[in-house]
Amino acid sequence: MRYTRKFSIIAGFLSIFSCSSMATAHTLKGSPRYWYAGINTGASFIHNSSRDKFVRNNNEILFREDHSQRGFNGGIFLGWNFYTCDVFNLALELTADLYSNRGHYTIDAFDDASQRTIHHDVNYDMNYAFHLALRPGFCINDCTMLYFTIGAAYGDFEIEMNNRNSQTIGPGNPQSISEDEWLWGFSLGTGLKRQLSCNLSVFAAYEYTYYGKESFDDMNMLLGSSISDQARIGDREACIDSNTFKLGLIYNF
């Protein structure tokens, strides 16, 4: 009796993931048009290749840095499944995500002739992103779908620079300066969706987003160790992309 009860519990649990006995209007295979919404969470990896140009006495000094930052992401989404047939599914999806990714690097320069230094820290954050994607999918069986995403992205990226040379901090030359930019990009991804019940599904997905190169031109700051040093940052350019892994829950209306 004890083993019979255990097997009954296991069989009941497995039946949640089986579509053979599902009689529902929202099976993935051949399902009608419907709206859906959901939540997601996961891990994100933001990559930033930056180029910093300093100008001192009409001479330019270029610093190139390559950074990756790990973090977490979470978001909500709304989609419309507007075309289905026996094995093919096509949907349009809008996603809004929050990111916890924050990166940091330090740039130091030393002039042998003047014995002066340039020293500053740079922080950069990926804050928010919106994605509008087309999602074609192929049903592996009645309740399992392999899908792909292709679409546009719009993300908020912020850079903050901190001057560590106290001799140059004063009126007109603050210790810290930041610039916030909204960047357009494109995204590609793939995922696996599994129907659990009439209205609930789960999914696991990967998404790559490329935001391209962006210039941060408003970050002009005196960086030398004295006012007479006159070393200023000329411009900063960043090339940004992201890799995101997500798990989520979907509710079909």
| 15 Cβ contact list (under 8 Å, min separation 6) | 21
- Residues 200-246 have pLDDT tens digits of 999 999 999 999 887 776 555 555 544 445 555 656 778 889 999 99
Given a cut of 80, whether residue 21 has pLDDT beyond it is no
Rounded alpha-carbon distances, angstroms, from residue 122 to 37, 111, 177, 179, 194: 38, 21, 10, 11, 43
Adjacent-strand bridge partners of 27: none
- Residues 144-163 have pLDDT tens digits of 999 999 999 999 988 877 77
How many residues are listed for the chain in this entry? 253
Residue 240, burial from CB neighbour count under 10 angstroms (0-12, 13-18, 19+): buried
| 219 Cβ contact list (under 8 Å, min separation 6) | 159, 161, 177, 178, 179, 233, 235, 236
CATH classification (class only), 33-252: mainly beta
| 2 Cβ contact list (under 8 Å, min separation 6) | none
- Residue 204 Cα to chain centre, angstroms: 16
- Coil vs helix vs strand at 172: coil
Neighbours of 207 (CB within 10 A): 24
Task: Supply the pTM of this predicted model.
Answer: 0.75
Written as six digits, the tokens of 164 are 């560590």
Q: Return the percentage of the chain with pLDDT > 90, whole number.
A: 36
Residue 76, burial from CB neighbour count under 10 angstroms (0-12, 13-18, 19+): middle
Written as six digits, the tokens of 75 are 């978001």
pLDDT reported for residue 220: 58
